[in-house]
Amino acid sequence: MVAAPFCAFKCTVSGSYNRLVGSFFIVCWRGLAANMPTVGVRRELLFKALGRAYTDEEFDELCFEYGLELDEITSEKEIISREQGDSKAAGASDVILYKIDVPANRYDLLCLEGLARGLQVFKNKLEAPRYRRVRPVSGESQKLIITKETEAVRRHAVAAVLRNITFTQERYDSFIELQEKLHQNVCRKRSLVAIGTHDLDTISGPFTYTAKPPGDISFKPLNQSQEFTATQLMSLYKTDSHLRHYLHIIEDKPVYPVIYDSNGIVLSMPPIINGDHSKITLKTRNVFIECTATDLNKAKIVLDMMVTMFSEYCLQPFTVEEAEVVYPDGKACIYPELAYRKEKLSSEFINRKVGINESTEKIAQLLTRMCLRSRATGVGDEIEVEIPPTRSDVIHACDIMEDAAIAYGFNNIIRTTPHTYTVANQFPLNKLTELLRQDLAAAGFTEALNFALCSQEDIADKLGKKISETRAVHISNPKTAEFQVARTTLLPGLLKTIAANRKMPLPLKLFEISDVVLKDETKDVGARNSRRFCAIYYNKSPGFEVIHGLLDRTMQLLEVKSARGDGYHIQAADVATLLKPPLHMKSLCRKSSSTSTPCKTNPGRLRPPALLIQKLCLVT
C-alpha cells in the first residue's frame, strides 16, 4: 500500500457558522437611551388606573407598541437590597414596581397619572380630558409680583393654584416624584426651571418674587428646625448628596432669588430649597405652584404639566385656578396657559409620509387615540387636530404624522423598497486604505487599532518632544489624562500595543493606518484629520532592514519608484524620538500624481527614553 505522497487530507470544519450575529447592537444615535427618563410605578396602582390587570408580557407588549419600554420589574426591597445589601432591605416593601422608560420629550408620561391616562386613551377606554383654567370662586386670583432684581439671576416666573385637591399617600408621593422627574429632565437639573409647591392655606398673597444678597435672606428651610441665612444654607448643602448639584446655578450670583408672601414668609429660594413653613402635607387642600425660570417657554410647559397631571384629584377634576404674574414693567400675565392649539393637515399628507392608505375619518380616530383630538372637517381630506397643553412635544406636522403611525402600529405598516436609483462610490482615501491594509497584512504585519485620544505625555514627553511643538488639539473637559489630546502620531499607540503584548512570541510586526488630528487654521473648525501609516518591528535582534523592506514594499504598492527626484529615497535626519544619526533615516518621496500618499516617513530605531517609558527593551 502506497501512501499518498502529497498532503491529501480532508479538511473537515466542525462547529456551526450559523451563530446569530447582530443581536445586541448598541444604539449610538444621540439623545436616546442615555437621556431616557425612567418612571417607577406600583404595578397594582397602575393596573387599577388602567381598569384591568395585565400579565407582565402583555404589558411589555403594550409598552412596545406605544413607544415605552418596560425596563425592569422589581420591588423597593429588591432595589434596596441590590444597592445597600440584604440587611438594609429587611423591612422594605416588596410591592411589585414597574420601571418604565419614557421618551425624553414626553413629559406628560412622567407619572402614574399621565401614563395611565395616555394608555387609557390609546386603548380607546377613555376620552382625553379637557383641562380648563378657571377663575377663583372668590373672584380674586393669587398674584405673584416679580421685581426687577430677579433680572440679574432668574427673571421668569409662572404660577397656578390647585384648589380643593385630595391627597392620599400614593398621590402625594407621585406629586413629589413628578416634580423631581421634571427637574431632572425638561428643567435641566433645575437650571432652566425650578418648581416650588406650597400649602396655600399657610401663606397669604400677594407673593413677591425678588432677589436679594444671600446675607439678607433668612428662613427655615424644608425639613430643618431652625432659620439659616442663604449664605449658611449654601455651605450647609455643600455636603447634601442631592441639593449640592444645584448650588452652582446661583452660587456666584450677587443676589439669590427668593419668594415671599405678604407677611414676609419665605416660600422658597429657587432653585435650591423651599421654606418649611408652606410645605405640602397629606392634609393640604389648596396648592400654590410657582415655577421660576431662565427659560419662560420651558416654565410654561412645566407648570402645565404639574397642573394637568394632578388637577385630576381636585374637587372639580381637570380644572386649574388661575394666578396672575405681574412683571416689573407692570405687564400682567395669567397662568397656567393651558393652551390648546389647532392644526390643519390632510390625510393624504399622513398617508404619503407613513406609507399607508387610510380614510380621513380613520386617521382622525388614530390621532384622537394619541390624545390629539381630531376630526375630519369635511373640506376635502382635511383633518383638524387639537394639540392639548400636555403635548408640548408636538411642534410640527411631522410629530402629528408620527402619532398617526404609532396608533396605526409601526409593525402594521407594509415594508416597501424605495425606487431610489444611485451608483455607489467609495471615498477615495478609504478605498486606498482598504487596499493597502490587505497588502500590509500580506507582507506579514498585523493590524493594530488604537485610540484617537491620548494623553499629552503620550505624544510629547514619551517621544522626546515638547507638547508645544506638536500641532495637537486639546480637550477642555477630559475625565482622565487618557483623553487630553487627539493623537498627532500613530507611534505611541503601536508602542503601547507592544508594551501590553510583551508576552507574545517575537518578533512582533504591527501596523496601523488611521487618522491623526492636527490643528489647521485653514479649516472651518481649525483642525483636520490626516491619514497616517505607521509600522513597528519588535525583536531581540536589530531589524532595520525589515522596516526598510516594508517601506520599499509600500512604495512599490503605491507605484512610487525608488529614485531621487521623481521617486522616493531615504536620507539621514535627526528626529527626537529616534536614535542619533546615522542610525536613523528620513525618507522623502514626491507626491505621485495618482495617489495622495504621505510624503514623509521616518523609519529608524527608537531612542531608549521612548522605550523605557513604554517599559520595552527591544524595538527597531
Partner 1 sequence: MADTGVAETLLRWVEKADVCLLPAVQVISAELRSSKHWELTGEGTEIAEQGSHEARVFSSIPLEGLAQSELMKLSFGKIGFSKAMSNKWIRVDKAHEGGPRIFRTVENIEDQVREKLLLVQRGNSCELEEKEKNELKKRRLLSEVTVKSYWITKGSSFSTTVTKQETELTPEMIATGSWKEKTFKPYNFEAMGVALDCGHLHPLMKVRTQFRQIFLEMGFTEMPTNNFIESSFWNFDSLFQPQQHPARDQHDTFFLSDPALAHEFPQDYLQRVKRVHSEGGFGSQGYKYDWKTEEAQKNILRTHTTAVSARMLYKVAQQEKFTPVKYFSIDRVFRNETLDATHLAEFHQIEGVVADYGLTLGDLMGVLHQFFTKLGITKLRFKPAYNPYTEPSMEVFSYHEGLKKWVEVGNSGVFRPEMLLPMGLPEDVSVIAWGLSLERPTMIKYGINNIRELVGHKVNLQMVYDSPICRLDS
Give the footprint of partner 1 on residues 513-532 (CB under 8 A): 515, 517, 519, 524-529, 531
Supply the minimum distance, in Å, between the C-beta of residue 150 and partner 1.
Answer: 17
Supply the minimum distance, in Å, between the C-beta of residue 506 and partner 1.
Answer: 12
Residue 356 to residue 139: CA distance in whole angstroms:
52
Interface with partner 1, residue 251, by CB under 8 A: no
Q: 3-class SS at 373?
A: strand
Q: Per-residue DSSP letters for 24-84?
A: TPPP--TTSGGG--EEEEEHHHHHHHHTS---HHHHHHHHHHHT-EEEEEEEHHHHHHHHH
Residue 451 to residue 492: CA distance in whole angstroms:
10
Closest CA to 474 of 463, 462, 460, 464: 460
Residue 46 to residue 109: CA distance in whole angstroms:
13
Residue with smaller CB distance to partner 1, 54 or 172: 54
Beta bridge partners of 395: none
Residue 113 to residue 173: CA distance in whole angstroms:
12
Closest CA to 538 of 501, 575, 487: 501
Supply the minimum distance, in Å, between the C-beta of residue 127 and partner 1.
Answer: 22
Q: 3-class SS at 200?
A: helix
Supply 218's cell numbers: 433668612
Stretch that binds partner 1, among 76-84, 205-213, 262-270, 354-362 (CB under 8 A): 354-362
Residue with smaller CB distance to partner 1, 401 or 555: 401
Interface with partner 1, residue 466, by CB under 8 A: no
Location of C-alpha cell 402583555: 58
Closest CA to 175 of 224, 128, 114: 114
Question: Can you give 295-356 as a three-state secondary structure string?
Answer: CHHHHHHHHHHHHHHHHHHECCCCEEECEEEECCCCCEEEECCCCCEEEEEEHHHHHHHHCC
Query: By rule CB under 8 A, what string of x and - marks binding of each residue 197-236 to partner 1?
Result: ----------------------------------------
Supply the minimum distance, in Å, between the C-beta of residue 465 and partner 1.
Answer: 17
Interface with partner 1, residue 352, by CB under 8 A: yes
Residue with smaller CB distance to partner 1, 21 or 137: 21
The single residue among 45, 70, 334, 452 that binds partner 1, judged by CB under 8 A, is 452
The single residue among 242, 283, 415, 466 that binds partner 1, judged by CB under 8 A, is 415
Question: Can you give 141-154 as a three-state secondary structure string?
Answer: CEEEEECHHHHHCC
The single residue among 154, 163, 198, 509 that binds partner 1, judged by CB under 8 A, is 509
Stretch that binds partner 1, among 194-202, 212-220, 256-264, 469-477 (CB under 8 A): 469-477
Q: How many residues lie near partner 1 (CB under 8 A)?
A: 122
Q: At a CB cut-off of 8 Å and minimum separation 6, what does 429 contact?
A: 531, 596
Question: For the stretch 158-189, what's the b/e string if a residue is b when 16 or more beta carbons lie within 10 angstroms of its beta carbon?
Answer: bbbbbbebebeeebeebbebbbebbbebbbee
Interface with partner 1, residue 481, by CB under 8 A: no
The single residue among 14, 169, 281, 425 that binds partner 1, judged by CB under 8 A, is 425
Residue 619 to residue 608: CA distance in whole angstroms:
9
Interface with partner 1, residue 426, by CB under 8 A: yes
Interface with partner 1, residue 11, by CB under 8 A: no
Residue with smaller CB distance to partner 1, 256 or 537: 537
Q: 3-class SS at 235?
A: helix
Supply the minimum distance, in Å, between the C-beta of residue 433 and partner 1.
Answer: 10
Supply the minimum distance, in Å, between the C-beta of residue 28 and partner 1.
Answer: 5
Q: Which of residues 281-310 bind partner 1 (CB under 8 A)?
A: 295, 297-298
Stretch that binds partner 1, among 41-49, 219-227, 255-263, 490-498 (CB under 8 A): 490-498
Stretch that binds partner 1, among 137-145, 493-501, 562-570, 592-600 (CB under 8 A): 493-501
User: Which helix H or strand E contains 294, and what residues bound it?
Assistant: none
Interface with partner 1, residue 429, by CB under 8 A: yes
Residue with smaller CB distance to partner 1, 141 or 489: 489
Q: At a CB cut-off of 8 Å and minimum separation 6, what does 73 contact?
A: 43, 56, 96, 97, 98, 99
Interface with partner 1, residue 188, by CB under 8 A: yes
Interface with partner 1, residue 541, by CB under 8 A: no
Residue with smaller CB distance to partner 1, 134 or 397: 397
Strands 218-219 and 228-229, by their bridges, are: antiparallel
Query: By rule CB under 8 A, what string of x and - marks binding of each residue 327-346 to partner 1?
Result: --------------------
Interface with partner 1, residue 395, by CB under 8 A: yes
Residue with smaller CB distance to partner 1, 211 or 356: 356
Distance in Å from the first CA to the final CA of the chain: 53
Interface with partner 1, residue 445, by CB under 8 A: yes
Supply 195's cell numbers: 418648581
Stretch that binds partner 1, among 212-220, 223-231, 310-318, 434-442 (CB under 8 A): 434-442
Cis amide leading into 336 (omega within 30)? yes
Strands 585-589 and 600-601, by their bridges, are: antiparallel
Interface with partner 1, residue 176, by CB under 8 A: no
Strands 382-387 and 341-346, by their bridges, are: antiparallel
Residue with smaller CB distance to partner 1, 67 or 328: 67
Query: By rule CB under 8 A, what string of x and - marks binding of each residue 20-49 to partner 1?
Result: xxxxxxxxxxxxx-xxx-------------
Residue 511 to residue 222: CA distance in whole angstroms:
63
Interface with partner 1, residue 66, by CB under 8 A: yes
Distances (CA, A) of 349 to 50, 353, 396, 399, 463: 33, 6, 13, 12, 62
The single residue among 47, 69, 579, 595 that binds partner 1, judged by CB under 8 A, is 69
Supply the minimum distance, in Å, between the C-beta of residue 376 and partner 1.
Answer: 21
Q: 3-class SS at 253?
A: coil
The single residue among 85, 136, 254, 355 that binds partner 1, judged by CB under 8 A, is 355
Residue with smaller CB distance to partner 1, 63 or 203: 63
Residue with smaller CB distance to partner 1, 71 or 227: 71
The single residue among 105, 147, 232, 346 that binds partner 1, judged by CB under 8 A, is 105
Residue with smaller CB distance to partner 1, 223 or 420: 420
Residue with smaller CB distance to partner 1, 80 or 301: 301
Interface with partner 1, residue 443, by CB under 8 A: yes
